Amino acid sequence: MKIAMQGVRGAFHEIAIRKYFNGEHYEVVPCASFNELFDALRFDKADYGMVAIENSIVGSILPNYTLLRESGLRILGEVYLRIEQHLLALPGQELADIKKVYSHPMAIQQCREFLTPMRRNGVQLVDSEDTALSAQWISEGNMQGVAAIASRLAAKLYRLDILAEGIETNKMNYTRFIIVSDDENYKNHLNGKKADKASLCFVLPHQQGRLSEVLSVLSFYKINLSKIQSLPIVGQEWEYLFYVDVDFNDFDRYRQSLDAIRPLLSELTIFGEYKTGDKVHEN
For residue 281, count CB atoms less than 10 angstroms from its CB and return exposed for 0-12, middle for 13-18, buried for 19 or more.
exposed
Distance from the first to the final alpha carbon of the chain:
24
276 catalytically annotated: no
Residue ranges of domains in the chain: 2-83+173-191, 86-164, 197-274
- Tell me the C-alpha distance between 130 and 6, whole Å: 10
Tens of pLDDT along 14-48? 999 999 999 899 999 999 999 999 999 999 999 99
Do 194 and 249 meet the contact criterion of CB atoms below 8 Å apart? no
Q: Which of 175, 202, 248, 271 is catalytic?
A: 175
Angle between helices 251-261 and 210-220 (to 10 degrees): 160
- Taking residue 74's Cβ as centre, other Cβ atoms within 10 Å add up to 24
Q: Can you tell me the mean pLDDT for 138-142?
A: 97
Superfamily of domain 197-274: ACT domain (3.30.70.260)
Going by DSSP bridges, is the β-strand pair 124-127/100-103 parallel, antiparallel, or unpaired?
parallel
- 224: alpha, beta or left, given left = phi > 0 and alpha = psi -120 to 50? beta
Tens of pLDDT along 175-228? 999 999 999 999 887 765 689 999 999 998 877 888 999 999 999 999 999 999
* One-letter amino acid of 270: I
Tens of pLDDT along 212-269? 999 999 999 999 999 999 988 877 777 789 999 999 999 999 999 999 999 999 899 9
Q: Which of 177, 202, 248, 271 is catalytic?
A: 177
Q: Which of 250, 268, 271 is nearest to 259 (CA)?
A: 268
The CATH architecture of the domain made up of 86-164 is 3-Layer(aba) Sandwich (3.40)
Taking the CA atoms of 227, 6, 45 and 157 in sequence, report the sign of the dihedral they define: negative
Task: Report the percentage of the chain scoring pLDDT > 90.
Answer: 85
Q: Can you tell me the mean pLDDT for 67-95?
A: 96
Is 2-83+173-191 assigned to CATH 1.10.3720.10?
no
177 catalytically annotated: yes
Task: Look at residue 193 in the predicted model and tell me its pLDDT.
Answer: 65
Higher pLDDT, 126 or 57: 126
Going by DSSP bridges, is the β-strand pair 48-55/100-103 parallel, antiparallel, or unpaired?
unpaired
Same fold: 2-83+173-191 with 86-164: yes
3-state secondary structure the chain: CEEEEEECCCCHHHHHHHHHCCCCCCEEEEECCHHHHHHHHHCCCCCEEEEEEEECCCEECHHHHHHHHHHCCEEEEEEEEECCCEEEECCCCCHHHCCEEEECHHHHHHCHHHHHHHHHCCCEEEECCCHHHHHHHHHHHCCCCEEEEECHHHHHHCCCEEEECCCCCCCCCEEEEEEEECHHHHHHHCCCCCCCEEEEEEECCCCCCHHHHHHHHHHHCCCEEEEEEEEECCCCCCCEEEEEEEECCCHHHHHHHHHHHHHHCCEEEEEEEECCCCEECCC
